[in-house]
Structure 1
Amino acid sequence: MTDPIADFLTRLRNAQKAGHRVVEIPASNVKKNMTKVLFDQGYIQSYKFVEDGPQGTVKVALKYHPVTKKPAMEKLIRVSKPGLRKYAKNTELPRVLNGLGIAILSTNKGIISNKEARALNIGGEVLCYIY
């Protein structure tokens, strides 16, 4: 696999389109931190790290609207790719859907959302947009 972050986003996207409640994803430290950011921002219901094998898996309980059954995450867009990395300074942090969505960044303080990066006044690699 050449791009594990794109695989993570694609598994979430496919599980939502199929209407699944829980999706299992092979774990890595980046994926675990991205899952924590998604939970903190309210895009997933819950998560659990299962240690089986060398890395383990991440079980993610997806979040849907109780009446309309629409998923909490409309779009998951990979921004920085292995062939073309995208970086943002602290003054040029992206605003996703005019502040309604989030961008997940990889910074020297770890993997955080664009809102946290703006508060900490740091930039980094823009991994993905979620709204």
Structure 2
Amino acid sequence: MTDPIADYLTRLRNAIRAGHKVVDVPGSNMKREITKILKEKGYILNYKFEQDGAKSNIKIALKYHPETKLPAIQSLVRVSKPGLRRYTNVEEMPRVLNGLGIAILSTSMGLMTDKEARQKNVGGEVLCYVY
């Protein structure tokens, strides 16, 4: 596996398409931070970090609409890839669905959304879009 973030997003995408309530993902610090951002912004119900010796695991409870059963996450798009990194500054910060979605950035101040990065006046690597 050369791109763990793409693997993480693909596991979430596949679980949503299959209608699963919970998905297990191999853990890392960056995946933890992305999961925390998804929880803060209301795209997932809950998460749980499990440590088993040297291995870590993240259990993610996916969020669906109670009546229509539509998932909260409609799309997960990996932007910056290992072969082609995408960086942005504050002036050229992407807006996902005109502000309805979020872009997750890796900045010098840690992982954050595009809105937080604009407030803190920092740019960085655009990891993914979520809407």
* TM-score (normalised: structure 1): 0.98
- Kept after mapping to 2: 8 A contact 1:50/1:58: yes
* 8 A Cα contact 1:63 1:71, kept in partner: yes
Structure 1 residues 20-99: aligned runs within 5 Å: 20-99=20-99
Give, in angstroms, the shift of residue 52 of structure 1: 1.1
Listed one character per residue, the Cα deviations across residues 93-114 of structure 1 (whole Å, up to 9, x for unaligned) are 1000000000000001111111
Q: Which contiguous aligned blocks of 4+ residues in structure 1 show a shift greater than 6 angstroms?
A: none
Match of 1:113 in 2: 113
Between the aligned partners of 1:46 and 1:120, the Cα distance in structure 2 is: 27
Q: Is the 8 A contact 1:23 1:59 kept in 2?
A: yes
Unaligned runs of 5+ in 1: none
3-state SS of 2:64 partner: coil
Query: Share of identical aligned residues, percent?
Result: 64
Per-residue CA deviations over 1:14-53 (Å, capped at 9, x if unaligned) read: 0001110000000000100000010111100000100013
**2: CA distance, partners of 1:71 / 1:20:** 10
Structure 1: how far apart are the matches of 2:92 and 2:39? 25
Distance in structure 2 (CA, Å) of the matches to 1:85 and 1:11 = 21
Checking the alignment, whether the CA contact within 8 Å between 1:28 and 1:55 is kept in structure 2 is no
CA-based RMSD of the aligned residues comes to 0.6
Q: Secondary structure at the match of 2:11?
A: helix
Question: d(CA) in 1 for partners of 2:95 and 2:46?
Answer: 25
Gaps of 5+ in 2: none
Tell me the residue number matched to 2:8.
8
SS where residue 55 of structure 2 aligns?
coil
Alignment coverage as a number of residue pairs: 131
| 1:55 CA drift (Å) | 3.3
